[in-house]
């Protein structure tokens, strides 16, 4: 999985590409989000547009990111989950937990 970070105002936009699966993408996601929160960032927008697949470890890591954000008085929101990933978020009812956006500008304003 590939990860890029763009800082837009007070929000870190984390662009993810590839698969978030056990032992690979989940570790990369965890390390990047921890790095951001440990560095004082409070608002993180995870751009899932180019994530092609996510397994249970990926779902678990999203929940862990959400929990870490709350511990640091921060926020994690999702942007553009793709077809299969969005279906998984619906199936697990996580779309009720995470604020999810289709438009980046709208997501940024929501912080």
Domains of the chain, first to last = 2-110 (3.30.750.24)
Whole-number Å distance between alpha carbons of 12 and 24: 22
Instruction: Provide the pLDDT for residue 68.
Output: 94
Q: What pLDDT is recorded for position 111? A: 94
pTM of the model: 0.94
Is residue 24 scored above 90 in pLDDT? no
> What's the average model confidence in pLDDT over 53-60?
93
DSSP 109: H
pLDDT at 17 over 90: yes
At residue 30, the 3 state secondary structure works out as helix
| Burial (CB count within 10 angstroms: exposed 0-12, middle 13-18, buried 19+), residue 94 | middle
């Amino acid at each position: 999985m590939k990860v890029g970070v763009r800082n837009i105002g007070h929000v870190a936009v984390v662009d993810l590409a590839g698969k978030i699966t056990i032992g690979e993408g989940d570790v990369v996601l965890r390390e990047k989000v921890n790095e951001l929160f440990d560095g004082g960032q409070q608002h993180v927008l995870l751009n899932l547009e180019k994530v092609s697949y996510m397994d249970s470890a990926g779902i678990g890591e999203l929940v862990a990111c959400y929990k870490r954000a709350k511990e640091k008085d921060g926020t994690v929101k999702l942007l553009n989950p793709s077809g299969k990933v969005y279906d998984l978020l619906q199936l697990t009812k996580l779309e009720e937990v995470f604020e999810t956006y289709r438009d980046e500008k709208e997501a940024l304003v929501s912080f």
